[in-house]
Amino acid sequence: MSTQNKETLDFQAEIQQLLKLMIHSLYSNKEIFLRELISNASDAADKLRFEAINHPNWYEDDSDLSIQVAVDQSKNTITISDNGIGMSREEIITNLGTIAKSGTKEFFSKLSGDQQKDASLIGQFGVGFYSGFIVADSISVESRKAGLTKEQAVRWESAGDGAFTVEQVSKDRRGTTITLHIKPEESELLNSWKIKSIIRKYSDHISIPIQMFKEEWSEESKSQVIKDELETINEANALWTRNKNDISEDQYHEFYKNISNDFENPLSYSHNRVEGRSEFTQLLYIPKKAPFDLWDRSKRSGIKLYVKRVFIMDDSEQLLPTYLRFISGIIDSADLPLNVSREILQESKDVKFIRESSTKRVLSQLEDLSSSVEEAKRADYQLFWNAFGQVLKEGLGEDHANVDKLSKLLRFANSTQNSDIQNVSLSDYVSRMKEGQDKIYFVTADSYLAAKNSPHLEIFNKKGIEVLLLTDRIDEWMLSFLTTYDNKPLTSVAKGDLDLGSLTDVSEKEEQKEAEKEFVDLLDRMKKVLSEKAKDVRLTFRLTDSPACLVADENELSGNLLRMLKAAGQPAPDSKPILEINTSHPLVKKVHSTSVDFEEWAHTLFDQALIAEGGQLSDPGSFVKRLNHLLLN
């Protein structure tokens, strides 16, 4: 085998750091190296199938794609070979020598110190090739890209010491061969039975054959003898094409871990074959925990698209709406063309049908969990909500066709429990409504404690009326799309006039009328003093313990939403709140009965109300001076 143009290059700094970690730290689950390298070989086969649609000559009379694994105890090596798409010299330098798209920075940021979990992150961040250094003291790679001549092959070698060599070689067969020179202390891996068990455990679902040479016992040598005959170790067919009754839960779970690179079992999965207007198979998984890039809305979903078992593309965002971007799985269509592109996907009626069907399937899975009579399933839904609830709320503004389904899945904290756990559904709330109550009441705030201790809740707590506490940043946006549930309007306790209707008894109504007459002069005086701050000053009957509170007019943005917009640098209307005062409070009665320091008292009541609802004072220094003056007089 001739070689030329040998060149020594240094790894990128972050790759050197990664190699050091692989070699010295991540050793708790050594088996992952084989899973990752076989997965890479399978990806290479998928890429060749796709490229061969336009370049059929790339098969070179070798269209039976497979992966071969060999163990050589005499040389202390394990070899993984494929006849997939292969790599050119430039690609092998880019893919194996620099950070490229491997996400190494994110990988390091997620390391926890738990070796088992850290090792499981390897595939998630695309750094699987380097896991070979967990068990090998050196690795060599020979590769020839499909479409290139055998003289254009390349060999890459490294001992994981910060540098690698690249040289041109001759290679008869298209594809890639990786040879791991196993460390002496890892010699237990140089056992064909051990390797076969690892393949069946992690890679049984791979859709192309994973082959090894057969072994048989020789009485003459009293040892295993390798025969010149290959056997297929895995099932060698796509898991999603098999009958559901023939697939165990463990196989479903291992398949999920492979396609999602998650180290935990999924929360739920759904495997269905859809026939009719469009024919396709869907295998969809709901994870337990949020991925590191969940809040990146530009991130495409984790759905892999196949057409008649031919891999087409990763992360097909057209197959599920953005708010379900955490779903992993496979969709295999029998109707789409093999040369489908992202542009075609956007315009295809078949894709639209697949999207609608898959969305309903996921929402049905979630509904089954959330409404199950089994406590374990409801607990699973709570896990899901804690991880993905805020993302699911995005759907209320994006997916108008499924608003009813989504609203049933929402969960909130409420004013009657002493916990910030969001476990109250709108159906739960409606079932507990007071006789005569015709509204669903809520309050928004930037934290649970701010909502729980909001002065706006005082009359509701007194009357035992439940109020939902909405503290996620997305809640204000969500409420512009979710205005009713079960024909009952969602009503903010901090906006507009408070009208409890039949929940207000006759004596309270009489007290309100008397107070309005008695304090009319006080209201006029405060309106003049606070004309720069308040849109209006009026009496309140929503307070029992606090002297004052701020409310927004019925058709204006809430104070919480205005603060959020300003904090995000977004334009916000210059609206003034309404100050409501509690005439039964001793402080308000004192202000009403004296003219001394009236302006200071009026401003102090306003500023206190602003602080109580989570607002920020425009002039804290003046507030402190004013308060100190009043305390000393």
What CATH number does the domain containing 527 carry?
Answer: 1.20.120.790
Question: Is the model's pLDDT at 139 over the cut of 70?
Answer: yes
Q: Which pLDDT value is given to residue 125? A: 36
Token pair for residue 446?
Answer: 């930037």
Question: Which helix (H) or strand (E) is 622 found in, with range?
Answer: helix 620-631
Asked whether residue 383 is assigned to any structural domain, the reply reads no
Same domain, 544 and 528: yes
Percentage of the chain beyond pLDDT 90 is: 51
Tell me whether residue 440 is exposed, middle or buried, using C-beta atoms within 10 angstroms of its C-beta: 0 to 12, 13 to 18, 19 or more: buried
| Placement of tokens 């679902």 in the chain | 205
Q: Provide the number of structural domains found in the chain.
A: 4
**Of residues 509 and 270, which shows the higher confidence score?**
270
Question: Is the model's pLDDT at 122 over the cut of 60?
Answer: no
H helices present in 241-281, as ranges: 249-260
Asked whether residue 555 is assigned to any structural domain, the reply reads yes
Q: Are 4 and 155 in contact (CB under 8 A)?
A: no
Torsions phi, psi of 587, nearest 5?
-65, -40
Q: Quickly state the pLDDT bin for 43 (edges 50, 70, 90).
A: confident
Task: Read off the CATH number of the domain in which 303 is found.
Answer: 3.30.230.80
Per-residue pLDDT tens for 573-584? 778 899 999 988
Residue where one domain finishes, among candidates 444, 471, 500: 500
Asked whether residue 452 is assigned to any structural domain, the reply reads yes
Per-residue pLDDT tens for 451-475? 999 999 999 999 999 999 999 989 9
Q: Which pLDDT value is given to residue 124? A: 43
Asked whether residue 457 is assigned to any structural domain, the reply reads yes
Round the average pLDDT of the chain to a whole number and report it: 85
Token pair for residue 273?
Answer: 């074959």
Q: Please give the angle made by the CA atoms of 270, 276 and 278, to the nearest 5 degrees.
A: 75
Asked whether residue 385 is assigned to any structural domain, the reply reads no
Token pair for residue 206?
Answer: 């791979």
- Parallel, antiparallel or unpaired: strands 310-313 and 302-307: antiparallel
Same domain, 517 and 439: no
Question: Is the model's pLDDT at 248 over the cut of 80?
Answer: yes
**Of residues 311 and 257, which shows the higher confidence score?**
257
Q: Specify the amino acid at residue 624.
A: V
**Of residues 338 and 627, which shows the higher confidence score?**
627
Torsions phi, psi of 140, nearest 5?
-125, 145
H helices present in 375-468, as ranges: 375-393, 395-398, 403-409, 426-431, 448-452, 458-463
Question: Which helix (H) or strand (E) is 9 found in, with range?
Answer: strand 3-10
- Least trusted range by pLDDT, from 249-263, 472-486, 557-571: 557-571
Domain containing 315 equals 239-375
Helix (H, G, I), strand (E, B) or coil at 387: helix
Same domain, 415 and 530: no
Nearest CA to 66 among 41, 102, 92, 85? 41
| Placement of tokens 């809040």 in the chain | 295
Same domain, 496 and 507: no
CA pair distance 122, 92, nearest whole angstrom: 19
User: What's the pTM value of the predicted model, to 2 decimals?
Assistant: 0.68
All residues at 6 or more sequence positions from 306 whose CB lies less than 8 Å from its CB, including other chains: 238, 312, 330, 331, 332, 333
All residues at 6 or more sequence positions from 42 whose CB lies less than 8 Å from its CB, including other chains: 67, 82, 84, 203, 206, 207, 208
Same domain, 259 and 208: no
Residue where one domain finishes, among candidates 453, 476, 500: 500
Q: Quickly state the pLDDT bin for 4 (edges 50, 70, 90).
A: low
Q: Which pLDDT value is given to residue 115? A: 46
Q: Quickly state the pLDDT bin for 108 (edges 50, 70, 90).
A: very low
All residues at 6 or more sequence positions from 92 whose CB lies less than 8 Å from its CB, including other chains: 141, 143, 154, 156, 166
CA pair distance 624, 631, nearest whole angstrom: 10
- Least trusted range by pLDDT, from 50-59, 188-197, 498-507: 498-507
CA pair distance 84, 58, nearest whole angstrom: 10
Asked whether residue 380 is assigned to any structural domain, the reply reads no
Which range is most confident: 89-98, 105-114, 369-378, 402-411?
402-411
Q: Which pLDDT value is given to residue 27? A: 46
Same domain, 154 and 29: yes
Q: Quickly state the pLDDT bin for 628 (edges 50, 70, 90).
A: very high
Per-residue pLDDT tens for 146-175? 999 999 999 999 988 878 899 999 999 999
- Least trusted range by pLDDT, from 112-126, 345-359, 382-396, 547-561: 112-126
Q: What is the mean pLDDT of residues 618-628?
A: 91
Per residue, the 3-state secondary structure of 143-178, as one string, reads EECCCCCHHHEEEEEECCCCEEEEEEECCCCCEEEE
Q: Quickly state the pLDDT bin for 270 (edges 50, 70, 90).
A: very high
**Of residues 424 and 335, which shows the higher confidence score?**
424
Task: Read off the CATH number of the domain in which 47 is found.
Answer: 3.30.565.10
- Least trusted range by pLDDT, from 91-105, 292-306, 329-343, 608-622: 91-105
Same domain, 215 and 101: yes
Q: Quickly state the pLDDT bin for 1 (edges 50, 70, 90).
A: very low
Which range is most confident: 172-181, 343-352, 468-477, 489-498?
172-181
Question: Is the model's pLDDT at 394 over the cut of 90?
Answer: yes
Asked whether residue 384 is assigned to any structural domain, the reply reads no
Q: Quickly state the pLDDT bin for 21 (edges 50, 70, 90).
A: low
H helices present in 234-374, as ranges: 249-260, 342-347, 349-370
Same domain, 135 and 209: yes
Ramachandran class of 128: left when φ > 0, alpha when ψ lies in -120 to 50, beta otherwise: alpha
Q: Which pLDDT value is given to residue 112? A: 53
Residue where one domain finishes, among candidates 197, 232, 267: 232
Q: Are 561 and 528 in contact (CB under 8 A)?
A: no
Q: Which pLDDT value is given to residue 109? A: 55
**Of residues 296 and 206, which shows the higher confidence score?**
206
Same domain, 495 and 507: no
Q: Which pLDDT value is given to residue 104? A: 43
Same domain, 361 and 346: yes
State CA 433 to chain mean position distance: 34
CA pair distance 88, 146, nearest whole angstrom: 9
Please state, in angstroms and as integers, the Cα–Cα distance from residue 351 to each residue in 86, 283, 321, 341, 395, following that order. 31, 16, 12, 12, 19
Question: Is the model's pLDDT at 145 over the cut of 70?
Answer: yes
CA pair distance 242, 320, nearest whole angstrom: 23
Q: Quickly state the pLDDT bin for 338 (edges 50, 70, 90).
A: low
Tell me whether residue 532 is exposed, middle or buried, using C-beta atoms within 10 angstroms of its C-beta: 0 to 12, 13 to 18, 19 or more: exposed
Token pair for residue 507?
Answer: 């004596």
CA pair distance 483, 461, nearest whole angstrom: 23
Same domain, 245 and 202: no
Task: Read off the CATH number of the domain in which 458 is found.
Answer: 3.40.50.11260
Q: What is the mean pLDDT of residues 189-194?
A: 92
Q: Are 455 and 401 in contact (CB under 8 A)?
A: no
Asked whether residue 381 is assigned to any structural domain, the reply reads no
State CA 508 to chain mean position distance: 49
Q: Which pLDDT value is given to residue 548? A: 93
CA pair distance 582, 549, nearest whole angstrom: 8
CA pair distance 576, 488, nearest whole angstrom: 29
Angle between helices 249-260 and 192-202 (to 10 degrees): 90
- Least trusted range by pLDDT, from 67-71, 109-113, 329-333: 109-113
Q: Are 37 and 136 in contact (CB under 8 A)?
A: no
Same domain, 22 and 116: yes
CA pair distance 490, 477, nearest whole angstrom: 14
Stated length of the chain: 633
Q: What is the mean pLDDT of residues 1-28?
A: 65
